[in-house]
Structure 1
Amino acid sequence: MHDDETLTAYHEAGHAVVGYVLGGEIESVGLYGEADDWLPERFGDCHVNWGRVDAGCDWQVQREVLTILAGPVAEMIYRGEKLHPATFAPWQHDWAWAWQRSESLIPDPRRRTRLLEAIVVWLHHHLSDDLCWAAIAAVSDELLAHEYLDAEQLAETLSFWIRT
């Protein structure tokens, strides 16, 4: 049985590693996210700053959707279970957020579902890569030790594993 804190650490590490690789500055990642204007109270939180971008640009939407779904996929890999983010309660918010964010790319609901499911499969393949998984595990370990990492701490942890 996996404890909630460890599952959350892997989930947030997935968001952080993919966001970092895709060029975002991870301002912070932590366990125990507080409720705010955008999100309910949650087990963890990852703040990505994409810089000055056009939020409607296809590439920006793609980066965000990949980063959003990376959390559930990293947790899925850690659990050793292939669960669907739309139907597994702890991940439904991530799925709904990716669903809403990707509407501009694919307005048709069936095609959008297929796209998001294909992204989950793609992420599962790539996050399972030894080097990528080592980076996720390193961030998770740091989160479990400190509960919160700022941009500098995260960059220090990831610089060993990922060259940007």
Structure 2
Amino acid sequence: MNDDDETLTAYHEAGHVVVGYLLGAQIDEVRLDSMIDDDLPRRFGDCLVNWGHVDAGCDWQRQRELMTILAGPVAEMVYRGERLHPAHFGPWQGDWQQACERSMGVFADPVQQVRFLEQLIAQLYRKMEQDPWWAAIAAVADELLAHEALEHEDVAAAVSFWLG
């Protein structure tokens, strides 16, 4: 296992890409560096997920977004072979915060909210550690490491080869 920042970021972003793509999003672009700000930490990638015209308040849409958000940390967990909690592991805290904000208002009790997000993480982990899911994530990560950025057509080719 190679655990340099670029490789970890590639697997992290590949998790977002594969899950988002499989849940019906178009991945407009994914990069190993920031499209927003060059002053961000070195270990930072971007994944532009396009859901098209949707009702953002719809439960299914919210769940698709939450799974896609949490898929980055989960892919990295599988790659690392260790389960870390996104709320307590620095590089993933942004993903955790984004998931918490997106699920806010759904649960009256913050404990229920955390349990729900943790259940999504467990479901994603079980899926991602199995072939052909893991093969698709590894293929996207390899493409990212080779090219530093992928557009929709590249993502579609890599994911559909392994997951149809």
| Structure 2 residue aligned with 1:152 | 153
| Structure 1 residue aligned with 2:62 | 61
Amino acid of the structure 2 residue aligned with 1:128: E
Task: State the shift of 1:98 in Å.
Answer: 0.3
| Structure 2 residue aligned with 1:110 | 111
Partner Cα separation in structure 2 for residue 41 and residue 58 of structure 1: 32
Identity within the alignment, %:
60
Partner Cα separation in structure 2 for residue 105 and residue 62 of structure 1: 11
Tell me if 1:91 matches 2:92: yes
Q: Contact between 1:34 and 1:41, CA under 8 Å: does it hold in 2?
A: no
Task: State the shift of 1:161 in Å.
Answer: 1.1
Please tell me the root mean square deviation across aligned C-alpha atoms, in Å.
1.3
Tell me if 1:141 matches 2:139: no
Partner Cα separation in structure 1 for residue 4 and residue 20 of structure 2: 25
Task: State the shift of 1:107 in Å.
Answer: 3.2
Tell me if 1:41 matches 2:44: no
| Structure 2 residue aligned with 1:24 | 25
Partner Cα separation in structure 2 for residue 74 and residue 108 of structure 1: 28
Task: State the shift of 1:130 in Å.
Answer: 1.2
Partner Cα separation in structure 2 for residue 68 and residue 35 of structure 1: 18
TM-score (structure 2 length as normaliser): 0.93
| Structure 2 residue aligned with 1:3 | 4
Task: State the shift of 1:85 in Å.
Answer: 0.2
* Higher mean displacement: 20-29 or 40-49: 40-49
1:61-120 Cα shifts (integer Å, max 9, x gaps) = 000000000000000110111100000000000000000101132232010001111111
Q: Secondary structure at the match of 1:27?
A: strand
Amino acid of the structure 2 residue aligned with 1:109: P
Q: Hey, which bits of structure 1, 4+ residues long, moved more than 3 A?
A: none
| Structure 1 residue aligned with 2:133 | 132
Residue-pair matches, total: 160
TM-score (structure 1 length as normaliser): 0.93
| Structure 2 residue aligned with 1:123 | 124
Structure 2: 5+ residue stretches without partners: none
